[in-house]
Amino acid sequence: MIDRLADQTALITGAASGIGRAIAIRFAEEGANVVVADIREEPREGGRPTHEVVADAEFVETDVSDVDAMRDAVEETVSAFGGLDVLVNNAGIFPGSRPIEAVEEAEYDRVMDVNLKSAYFGSKFAAGEMREQGEGGAIVNISSIAGLVGYDDAASYCASKGAVANLSRELALELGPDDIRVNAINPGVVETAMTTQDTPAAGTMDEQIPLHRDGQPEDIAGAALFLASDDAAYVTGHNLVVDGGYTAK
C-alpha cells in the first residue's frame, strides 16, 4: 500500500457489489474515504456490506436514476468527509439480451436512466462541488466494451454505454480548465452477479479472449485507481479498455 489516494474522498455508485465494491475496497486500501451509494447494502454476490469491510466508509441509500438522490449523495459525501475529490459512476444494469423489436419503452427508459442519466447528473453535481473546492478532481465513468463495439441483442445497453463513453470525452473538455479529469473504463466480461446471475456470460467467451479468462472486479479496480490518482494527472477524455484483449481483434 502506498496511499495513492491519501486524504481523498471518493463517492462510488453501485459499490455494494461487484466492480464498484472492488473499487471501494481498493480505494480504501490506498487511503481514501469512501462513500458507497447503492440501492442495496448487501453485495449481490454475498458477503458483508462494503461499508462494513472497509475503514472510513459511509453508505448512502441512493437510486442513481433519481436526480435528487444523486444530488443528495454528493451533498452527504461532503457533509460526511468535508469534500469530494473522486466520483466513480459505476452503478449500471444489463436488461438481458433481446432483439430491439422485443424491447418496450419502459425497459429502454430504465436502462438509460440507470446507466446514463446517473452519470450525467452525478457528474454535474460532483463538478459543481469540485469547482467550488478549487482543487481539481477526477471522475471515472464505467462504460463497457459494449460502448465501443456492438454486443448482440443489447441495443439499449450499447446505446447507454456508448453515450457514457462520449459523455466522458465531452466533460473532459468542459472541466479540464478546472483540473477536473474525466475518463471512462470499458470493461470486457467481468465475473460479477451481472454476468453470473442476470445474464450468464461469464466463462462463455474465454476462447475469444486473448488472455483466456474473464476479468475479475479487481482488474477493473486497478484501472480505476490509476485514473483516479495523480499517476493519471495528464490523462483526461480517455476510454481505457480493460477486456483481456477481446476488442484487439
The footprint of ligand NAD (CB under 6 A) covers 13-14, 16-20, 38-40, 44, 62-65, 90-94, 114, 142, 144, 187, 189-190, 192-195
8 A C-beta contact, residue 55 and residue 31: no
Minimum distance, C-beta of residue 150 to ligand NAD, in the bound complex (Å): 14
Nearest residue (CB) to ligand NAD, 114 versus 127: 114
Strand 57-61 to 86-89 pairing: unpaired
CA neighbor of 87 nearest in space, from 134, 130, 140: 140
| Core vs surface per residue 24-63: b (16+ CB within 10 A) or e | bbbbbbbbbbbbbbbbeeebbbeeebbbeebeebbbbebb
Nearest residue (CB) to ligand NAD, 7 versus 155: 155
Nearest residue (CB) to ligand NAD, 81 versus 157: 157
Minimum distance, C-beta of residue 207 to ligand NAD, in the bound complex (Å): 17
Minimum distance, C-beta of residue 137 to ligand NAD, in the bound complex (Å): 20
> Catalytic residue numbers?
157
Nearest residue (CB) to ligand NAD, 77 versus 144: 144
Show the beta-strand stretches assigned E in the chain.
Answer: 9-13, 33-38, 57-61, 86-89, 137-142, 180-187, 239-242
8 A C-beta contact, residue 111 and residue 160: yes
Minimum distance, C-beta of residue 246 to ligand NAD, in the bound complex (Å): 11
Distance CA 155, CA 17 (A): 24
Cell of 189: 466480461
